[in-house]
Structures are given as C-alpha cells and as structure tokens.
Amino acid sequence: MKEYKKVNYRKIHCYKTVSKKDWHDWHWHIRNVIRDIPSLKKVVPIDKAEENRLEKCLCKLRMGITPYYASLIDPQYKRCVIRMQAIPSINELYNAPDDYEDPLQEDVDSPVPGLTHRYPDRVLLLASHICSMYCRHCTRRRLVGDRDKHLPEKQINTCINYIRQHKEVRDVLISGGDPLTLEDNYLEDIIKKIRDIEHVEIIRIGTRMPVVLPFRITASLTRMLKKYQPIYINTHFNHPKEITFESKEACERLADSGIPVANQTVLLRDVNDCPPIIKKLMHELLMIRVRPYYIYQCDLSKGISHFRTSITKGLEIIENLQGHTSGMAVPTFVVDAPGGGGKIPLMPNHMISQSDRRFALRNYEGVITTYTQPENVFSNCGHCHICDDRNYKPSGGIAKLLSGEKLNLEPKGLERRKRLRRKKR
C-alpha cells in the first residue's frame, strides 16, 4: 500500500511559526485564506509579469486559497496542477462565444431561491454561497464568491418548507458554495429539519473540504452527521496530487463513521485530461475508500473556456478504464446539458449490431462476441403482485415510450403539426 507523507508546511517561510495546533484547526485556515497578491507572494513565487496579470484578474474576480491547499503548490513549476486550480489566470477574463452565465439554468429550475428541483425525486439545496477556496474552474461562479455570505436562515426555511410540501422528494443534496463552511451547529439545524421530513430518504452533502481543507472533517462533525443517517458525501478530487496524508485521513474518518464518500471529477485541460492520470486518480481514490461517481465534461460557464477539453477525450478516458480495471474505479462520464436538461451519460459504443435474436457486442479488448436473446422475450414486468400493490407507474420520458403509455415524444412547435393545424382551419 502506498504511504502518504504529511504536508511539510513549515517549508513555506511565512508558515514557519504556525503551531501544529493552528495548522490542524480549520478555523485558522479560514481566517488565513489567501485573498490578495501580497499574501500570495509570501507562499508562492510570483514574477512581475504574473503579478500584473493577477492584478487585472483581481479587479473582476475573487481569489481564495486555503493555506493547506497552497502548501501543495509546487513553487518551481508554473503549470502545477494545484496552482492551476487555485491561482487566477488572465484567461478567466475571456468569455468564449458559447459561454453562459447560468448554463445549467439552475436559477430557472428554482421554485424558491436557493433550491433547484430538476429531477422528479431529488432536489439541490444551495445552503451557502461561500467556499473555503475558490476553484478557478467553478461552474457556479455566478453564485459563489461574489457575495460573501451564507443563505439567510429565512430563505433556507422556505426551501425546507418546499421539500416538506413535495412528497416526491426522497433525496436532498445539500451543496453550495460549500455547506461545510457552515458551523456544525448551524449545519445541524438544517440537516435535522430535513431529516424530520418523513418522505426524505437520503441526505447528500456536496463538499470540497476533504480536498482543500481536510481539517474541516473533525471528529465532532462526523459525530454530528452520524446522527442523521443515511448521509452520503460527494467530494471533488481532480488529480492524484490532491491525495495526501491529510485528505486520506479526512475521507477515512468519514468512512469510519459509516458515511460513504463518492467523488466527482471535472475534466480540466492540462490538469487531468489524460487516461493514465485519471486511472491513477481512480485507483488512489479507492485506496482512501472514496468511490468514483462522476466525471464531468466542463460546463459552458463564463470564463472557464481555457479549461475545457473535448468530449472525445472523456470517451477515450472511459475506454481506457472500462474492463481494464476494477468496475468500481469506472465513474460515469456525464455532460450536464446546457439549458437544464440534467446530466447525460456518455459511453464509448459497445454494441456493434443486432438482429431479431442476436446482439453483436464488443468488449474492452476489441473481441466481438454475440449474445442470443431468449426466444420468449416477453417478461411479466408490470403485472406481478408487487407492482399492483404499489400502483407502480412507469417513469416519464423515454420510459413511457417503452411501456407503451406514449406513442411518441414531440418537441413543442413542431413545424409538421403547425402545417396540419393550418390545413384544418
């Protein structure tokens, strides 16, 4: 098993006198987040040209780097993957023609401010606009960082009331910003209220703390979370360099408390857009008991076009994982549909062709094989006592086509329909 070394923060001159106690205290890190150029220069060498560019960036954009994450930066190397995620680049001032303010239309799908209800049975609650660190590739740039505040309690209560009134919501995803920037007792108030709602089955927390401020995962936090099981945590590692002794401890502490941790990676150009890096990351995640969940295609948010890779690269990465390594190390590659369509999974094609009874399929080695379907392929699905008891209804969308409930799905304003209507008149 790989041994991880503790970060040697004392190698950084300005942290030389920081006590061990302070370094392991997440509040100390929050108080000492690097927000301006003079503080940054004490931690990483910045030349004059870069300083000038940074000045321009900071007129428009915010910077925020936790001392812990900054200590992972390789000072000698301009293209250090930690540096690229933390220090603003002049490219962020450029908006590509296809960039949007809110590409996922999270604001549009929001029945009450702070809550997005996109999928039938689950909601996204943006509990805080604050992050301990402002990732340069953040998709929620419009929400995060421009207002340095948590959601007012009244607004959170309105969101929770919405969940209470919507019996179909069985999964609540608390995200932000980073909800773990909230103090334990405040977070507990929110979680408790959600847990008290009878129809809520699971609670998920989206946080980058295990990566950017692992000391936030304290014993008292996990003790609190444990009371409200089932709770799941989704975090956001992008590169094997982010897996350290400290982040490993944080993830293991969660896992030891019975809180499963999953990971969502964003594909970022020159950071992790290559098959061996992602494979290494997936393997190392499993070693710290984090289950790879999603790999995201970079969204079309403003100012992050320099991070975008091609979708093709994502497919190549999956091709290099699937079958070649543990199934558990293979996340789902998704494109979050612009316009609010939600996540769309993409896979390299494994189906070569089909006939009445046979499928021609290919595996990861390139072997082409057949699968013969049974002759009597009609299942009794939909007619057994289990469904009858529960008044089971097929899901909407394409599932309705498959169940025969709908003949077709048509876009609104279909030209052909308009013509027919004109003819009738």
Which residues in this chain contact ligand PLP in the complex, by CB under 6 A? 116, 118-119, 122, 124, 173, 343
The answer to whether 151 and 127 are in contact (CB under 8 A) is yes
Tokens of 137: 């590739």
Could you say which of ligand SF4, ligand PLP, none residue 343 binds, taking C-beta under 5 to 8 angstroms by partner kind? ligand PLP
Omega of the bond leading into 230 within 30 degrees of 0 (cis): yes
Smallest separation, CB 126 to ligand PLP (Å): 10
Cα 286 from Cα 270, distance rounded (Å): 23
If binding is defined by CB under 6 A, does position 303 make contact with ligand SF4? no
Active-site residue identified among 35, 41, 118, 195: 118
Residue found by looking up tokens 């250090």 in the block: 80
Closer Cβ to ligand PLP, 105 or 218, answer by number = 105
Q: How far is CA 231 from CA 123, 131, 200, 204, 416, in A?
A: 15, 21, 11, 6, 49
Q: Which of 384, 359, 360, 363 shows the shortest CA–CA distance to 374?
A: 359
Active-site residue identified among 15, 68, 83, 131: 131
φ/ψ (deg, to 5) at 148 = -85, 70
The answer to whether 277 and 239 are in contact (CB under 8 A) is yes
Active-site residue identified among 4, 100, 119, 293: 119
Smallest separation, CB 144 to ligand SF4 (Å): 5
Stretch that binds ligand SF4, among 129-137, 220-228, 278-286, 364-372 (CB under 6 A): 129-137
Active site residue 336: yes
The answer to whether 149 and 129 are in contact (CB under 8 A) is yes
CB atoms within 10 A of CB 365: 8
Closer Cβ to ligand PLP, 116 or 132, answer by number = 116
Active-site residue identified among 57, 80, 138, 251: 138
Cα 217 from Cα 358, distance rounded (Å): 52
Smallest separation, CB 125 to ligand PLP (Å): 10
Check residue 331 and report its DSSP letter: P
Q: ∠ CA(412), CA(418), CA(421), 5° rounding?
A: 125
The answer to whether 252 and 217 are in contact (CB under 8 A) is no
H helix count then E strand count, the chain: 16, 12
Stretch that binds ligand SF4, among 134-142, 282-290, 308-316, 384-392 (CB under 6 A): 134-142
| Residue choice 72, 81, 104, 131 for contact with ligand SF4 (CB under 6 A) | 131
Active site residue 343: yes
If binding is defined by CB under 6 A, does position 135 make contact with ligand SF4? yes
Active site residue 118: yes
Active site residue 14: no
Could you say which of ligand PLP, ligand SF4, none residue 210 binds, taking C-beta under 5 to 8 angstroms by partner kind? none
If binding is defined by CB under 6 A, does position 177 make contact with ligand SF4? yes
The answer to whether 132 and 33 are in contact (CB under 8 A) is yes
If binding is defined by CB under 6 A, does position 144 make contact with ligand SF4? yes
| Residue choice 29, 117, 208, 248 for contact with ligand SF4 (CB under 6 A) | 208
Active-site residue identified among 102, 178, 273, 336: 336
Active site residue 119: yes
Closer Cβ to ligand PLP, 109 or 188, answer by number = 109
Cα 208 from Cα 235, distance rounded (Å): 5
Active-site residue identified among 83, 122, 216, 248: 122
Catalytically active residues are 118-119, 122, 131, 135, 138, 140, 299, 336, 343
Binding site for ligand SF4 (CB under 6 A): 131, 134-135, 138, 140, 144, 176-178, 208
